[in-house]
Chain A
Amino acid sequence: MTVKLKIWRQKDSSSKGKFEVYELDNVAPDMSFLEMLDSLNQRLVKEGKSPVAFDHDCREGICGSCGIYINGRPHGNDHRTTTCELRMRGFKDGETITIEPWRAAAFPVVKDLVVDRSAFDKIIQAGGYISVNAGAAQDANAIPVPKHNADVAFDTASCIGCGACVAACKNASAMLFVAAKITHLAQFPQGRVEAPERVKRMVAKMDELGFGSCTNTRACEAECPKGISISTIAKLNREYLTAKLKD
């Protein structure tokens, strides 16, 4: 099949970007979306042109590196799918595909489709952990954790930090990302110890880094490739209020 690609090109963070259009033929339906871009890049390099920069690594939907706005949606049209898992069989022959980087003030563009998501790391550094040094832990079975809590912890810890939630949100809010971590760590008795401090610090850091507020549109939940539920945001709000009330 043949596709027409309308791609955001931007040399670096200080340059102005613009769309460029490329036609690509010999696209196989079995190809992944990123393999399709690889094949465009191979052609561009051979033509002496600058290839399209994009982040990627594991190519199996788990590392969270990739993240492209495709036809107006983060990670494209498929439900619960990262960009790298997307297959070309989901596109039509002759289709024009619009390809953009994440758009959020807290995620500045580095080059083309590559953005700087280090703000997420900074939020985790502000308390997204349980304080235990190596060697200090007791036997793993010393603290029973109800299966339900363990399952919730698993579901929320399956966040891959890709940033689709922020990209999907009209306010570029990081609430789902923060809420997932807060909910994950709140499931364990040892995670409760620092819970009030954790939620206050992480929320303050999120605000400081320029993420917007949550207005409950649920766009984040709809686009999360790992299906993290917006109910975590309710949990976050509850944890935050409880912590603040104790101040």
Chain B
Amino acid sequence: MNKLNAKIPDGPLPDKWTTHKTKLRLVNPANRRKLDIIVVGTGLAGSSAASTLGELGYNVKVFCYQDSPRRAHSVAAQGGINAAKNYKNDNDSIYRLFYDMIKGGDFRAREANVYRAAEVSNLVIDHYTALGVPFARDYGGLIENRSFGGVQVSRTFYAKGQTGQQCLIGAYSALSRQIDKGTVTMYPRREMMDLVVIDGKARGIIVRNLITGEIERHSAHAVVLATGGYGTIYYLSTLALNSNGSAAWRAYKRGALFANPSFVQIHPTSIPVLNDHQCKLTLMSESLRNDGRVWVPKTKGDPRKPNEIPEEERDYYLERRYPAFGNLVPRDVASRAAKERCDAGYGVGPTGLSVYLDFRDAIQKKGRKYIEDNYGNLFEMYEKITGESPYEVPMRIYPAGHYTMGGLWVNYNLMTTIPGLYAIGEANFSDHGANRLGASSLMQTSGDGYFILPYTIADYLADEIKTPKIPTNTPEFDAAEKEVKDRIERLMSINGTETATSFHKRLGKIMWDYCGMVRNKEGLEKALTLLDELKEEFWKNLKVPDTANELNQELEKANRVADFLELGKLMVYDALNRRESCGAHFREESQTKNGEAKRDDENYSYVAAWEYAGDGKEPILHKEELKFEYVKLQERSYK
């Protein structure tokens, strides 16, 4: 039986969403307030969905692990948010935005979803602007746009290097308004521990109150997961330290399919690892590549300081390999090229694991003032961390785990394979294919929450208007709560000698080495064994201090790492299965003579959606064929 019906509407691509909307059923206002919806997560996806559903009159409950919804990690997005406004009159359009995303994703995303994301992008910008998000403006008072992420038009809306923060504050204010009105109830410092499924439908969640340790039951007619990505599986990543994959993983174990888990974006411009104690990698915005030139010395292990190395002894390898796009090649290409140079022994810095991003020429040409105006805050941030001024010496950068294109499989209505369970934003897999273009995540996540989910969820809830409030004293809630409590009890009682952080570091290294920027069969198979061994050791030798009935941050970590140990294996299975290179997924066995990614459209033009088959069993693969009716598949070349 094929479980995957993507429910993509018929008709011409530009009309699909319009036509589909007319067919989606509605719920009348009087019925909406009788319907409960749970939203987990308060980033741009969760906040936007929750406030919009609240505005529509549903009874919404929102959960986040942070102390305030305003702290979700959307806050850290720097560069911008795309929209097809064509304010620059550079012949941009919804179609072009759609096309760039499809191509950027290396033809591994659904045409219909991507087109829709581009279509609603303009509404998103209008809404944020109305909420008071201070996008950059010109002296005429109108909104400025910039070019971003290697596209030929200027369609990126931005607020200096803090676009995510400014948008999230806007979304948070709209959410706060609904909390004030009483349509939304906020539950901060709660972590989702499990999903409750009753008669095949998502009906609630079990959460842990992170302050008291109490396990709580919450029910609803539908559940929306807006829980972000799982990039912290690498331990060192650009994500917030507490970001995790547990909510999605719990949903997977309750029957939701997980799609393309191995598609992880490794961002090329992060500050490199400085020491063993390091817990996170700080991103330097991609926009820096507009003016910075990436290079390494032509001589291996050149001991000279960067400024002492003359021009002819520098290898500007991106400009050399990709003359057309140069330093502006997409993220996956730039990351692999950096790794290639460092692996070949040309890397710089104490570890040899970094490359230069040099502003010398831009400062000479455009002046220091220009650089300050455009990148001042990033330069400051870099100097705070490394103690070096990028005005004087080149920055050192290296790729870091960043964004997960993979996520819970959803159909066109953003519903997972569990009826009544939705996944939006980074938590789903749908719009970025095998690689995400810069400034398209804020766009997609906000579009999902403001203008897509609120329409599609009504179609499901139209059947629920006669369902009374879901009681939480059912056997399903009892069982789920017991499982959660048993697991916590197990974690607490191991009483070994190694901390959750230590296991997380070891897990991160396995994933980075074998399922990171470059993968091959041998390495991936080795990773499967290593992950099994690590999991076994974890459950034998973990040490969690204190008790479960209090604020216990070590227990929180342990819970997340326990899930990551399993999710890591799914990523490896997925990477093993896909014996082609596409986007961020690079299989060494599948490359061109010049070392570029080689796609295999004949055999792998599908979404790999995995079904949980039980503990210790190999997951079951379901394929959703990708049909391209409007774009012609071509080699993604940036030469």
- A235 interfacial contact with B, CB 8 Å: no
Q: Assess the A133–B55 pair: CB atoms within 8 A.
A: yes
A170 interface residue (CB < 8 Å to B):
no
CA distance A81 to B384 in the complex (A): 9
Contact: A64 with B280, CB < 8 Å? no
> What are 24 pairs between A and B in contact, CB < 8 Å?
A32-B385, A35-B277, A35-B279, A38-B501, A51-B553, A53-B551, A58-B75, A59-B282, A63-B71, A120-B68, A124-B172, A126-B180, A128-B176, A129-B132, A129-B174, A135-B123, A135-B127, A136-B130, A138-B130, A140-B126, A140-B130, A147-B138, A158-B162, A184-B132
Contact A61-B277, Cβ < 8 Å, known A38-B501, A128-B173: no
Q: Out of A65, A139, A145, name the residue touching B71 (CB < 8 Å).
A: A65
Contact B127 A116, beta carbon cutoff 8 Å: no
Q: 8 Å CB contacts to B: which residues of A10-60?
A: 11-12, 28, 30-32, 34-36, 38-39, 41-42, 44-46, 48-51, 53, 55-60
Q: Is the CB of A187 within 8 A of B134?
A: yes
Cβ of B241: which chain A residues have Cβ within 8 Å of it?
Answer: 56-59
The answer to the question of B26 belonging to the interface, with a C-beta cut-off of 8 Å to chain A, is no
**Given A28-B277, A35-B277, A57-B240: A51 and B68 interface contact (C-beta under 8 Å):** no
In the bound complex, residues from chain B placing their C-beta under 8 Å from that of A200 are none
| Interface locus among A91-99, A149-157, A238-246 | A149-157
Contact A62 B140 (CB under 8 A): no
Does A6 belong to the interface (CB within 8 Å)? no
Chain A CB within 10 A, most for which of B67, B162, B180, B381: B67
Within 8 Å CB of A44, what residues of B? 545
Task: Please state if A134 and B127 are interface contacts (CB–CB under 8 Å).
Answer: yes
Contact status A117-B385, CB under 8 Å: no
Q: Which of A28, A42, A136, A150 contacts B137 (CB 8 A)?
A: A150
Q: Which of B38-72 contact A (CB under 8 A)?
A: 48, 51-52, 55, 66-72
Give the interface residue-count category, chain A: 35 or more
Which of B131, B159, B502 meets A130, CB within 8 Å?
B131
Q: Which residues of B contact A57 (CB under 8 A)?
A: 66, 71, 73, 240-242
Chain B proximity of A6: nearest CB distance (Å)? 21
Asked if B179 is an interface residue, CB under 8 A from chain A, the answer is yes
A86 to chain B, nearest CB (A): 9
Q: Which residues of A contact B143 (CB under 8 A)?
A: 140-141
Q: Are A58 and B76 in contact (CB under 8 A)?
A: yes
| B165 / chain A contacts, CB cutoff of 8 Å | 62, 158, 160
Asked if A46 meets B240 with Cβ closer than 8 Å, knowing A53-B553, A138-B130, A154-B160, the reply is no
Complex contact A121–B68 (CB within 8 A): yes
- Give per-residue flags for A144-172: 1 if the beta carbon is below 8 A from chain B beta carbons, else 0: 11110011011001101100000000000
Evaluate contact between A135 and B71: CB separation under 8 angstroms: no
Q: A55-B67, A134-B450 are in contact. Are A114 and B551 (CB under 8 A)?
A: yes
| A45 partner residues in chain B, CB cutoff 8 A | 499, 543-545, 554
Q: How far does the Cβ of B89 sit from chain A's closest Cβ, in whole Å?
A: 12
Chain B residue with the shortest CB-CB distance to A129: B173
Q: List the A residue with the shortest CB-CB distance to B239.
A: A58
3 tightest CB-CB pairs across the interface, nearest first? A144-B141, A137-B130, A129-B173
B85 contacts partner chain A, Cβ-Cβ < 8 Å:
yes
In the complex, what distance in Å separates the CA atom of A118 from the CA atom of B550? 19
Residue from B72, B139, B242 with most neighbouring chain A CB atoms (10 Å): B242
Contact between chains at A125 and B280 (CB < 8 Å): no
Q: Which of B186, B275, B454 contacts A28 (CB 8 A)?
A: B275
Inter-chain contacts of A34 with B (CB < 8 A): 279
B interface vs A, CB < 8 Å?
Answer: 48, 51-52, 55, 66-73, 75-76, 85, 87, 123, 125-143, 159-160, 162, 164-166, 169, 172-174, 176-177, 179-180, 186, 188, 211, 240-242, 274-275, 277-280, 282-283, 381, 384-387, 450-451, 454, 497, 499, 501-502, 543-546, 550-551, 553-554
User: Is there a chain B Cβ closer than 8 Å to A185's Cβ?
Assistant: yes
Q: Does A8 touch B at the CB level, under 8 Å?
A: no
Residues in B with CB closer than 8 Å to A124 are 172-173, 176
Given contacts A12-B550, A59-B279, contact A132 B127 (CB under 8 A): yes
Contact partner of A89 (CB less than 8 A), chosen from B133, B387, B545, is: B387
Are B134 and A190 in contact, CB atoms less than 8 angstroms apart? no
Residue of A nearest to B128 (CB): A140
A196 at interface, CB cutoff 8 A: no
Chain A residues lying within 8 Å of B387, measured Cβ to Cβ, are 30, 87, 89
The answer to whether B137 and A63 touch across the interface, beta carbons within 8 angstroms, is no
Identity of the chain B residue whose Cβ is nearest the Cβ of A158 in the assembled complex: B162
Q: Known contacts being A50-B546, A134-B454, is A63 close to B130, with CB within 8 Å?
A: no
CB within 8 A of A60: which of B55, B76, B142, B550?
Answer: B76
B162 touches A137 (CB 8 A): no
Q: Which residues of A contact B551 (CB under 8 A)?
A: 12, 53, 110-111, 114
A210 adjacent to chain B (CB < 8 Å): no
Query: Is there an interface contact between A132 and B130, defined as CB atoms closer than 8 Å?
Result: yes
**How far, in angstroms, from A120 to B127 measured CA to CA in the complex?**
24
**Extra contacts besides A45-B545, A55-B67, A78-B384 (9): CB < 8 Å:** A48-B545, A57-B241, A62-B162, A63-B72, A63-B76, A65-B71, A135-B451, A150-B135, A187-B132
Docked Cα-Cα span, A49 to B138, in Å, equals 57
Most interface-central of A146, A153, A157 (chain B CB within 10 A)? A157
Tell me which of B73, B126, B545 contacts A58 (CB under 8 A). B73
Contacts A38-B279, A114-B551; A61 near B180 (Cβ below 8 A) = no
